[in-house]
Structure 1
Amino acid sequence: MSEPTQKYSISMPRDIAEAARARSGPSGLSAYVTAAVARQIERDNLAELIAVAEAEHGPITEEEVDATRAAFRRAHEELSDTSPGQKDVA
């Protein structure tokens, strides 16, 4: 069961509201805005986590960012190579 909802009144520029309504599809504007706000909360939480980590361990270097991106890329490629229906050849 999902969380109970409550009705809110918000203000936003007309062009943004119209673009959101046009993209919201069958789920509607409320679901579209809810998803956007949820994504922003996730980003805010991540930014706070990064700030705490950097305060404790120092700033993240470009080399660390590049190494992490490369690791994610390799992991993604490995998962793609072993997706269901493909033979695992050793």
Structure 2
Amino acid sequence: MTSHLGRNAARASSIKRRLDNAPDRRRCLSGNTCPGIYELHSGKFAVVGTDRTKELRHLLACGEDQCIVVLPRHTLVWAKANIPDA
């Protein structure tokens, strides 16, 4: 049985909604390999893209526990209308 705190932590890190268009509505060959931007129940965002940490770390500040993810332009453009102002 999961504790109350465990359930709350799991919900906080779960996906609330996808901010960009679903894979079937855009230029994506497979729903399993599409980049995306997601809002989590915690209010944070999760990004699925191509890891370019090795190539870009020398140009950008990136902590050891972080990675640099690159998205196709259209992914962010489609998500723009769904990203809250505050």
TM-score by structure 1 length?
Answer: 0.22
Larger RCO of the pair (alpha carbons < 8 Å, separation 6+): 2
Greater radius of gyration (CA): 1
Answer 1 or 2: which has greater helix percent.
Answer: 1
Answer 1 or 2: which has greater strand percent.
Answer: 2
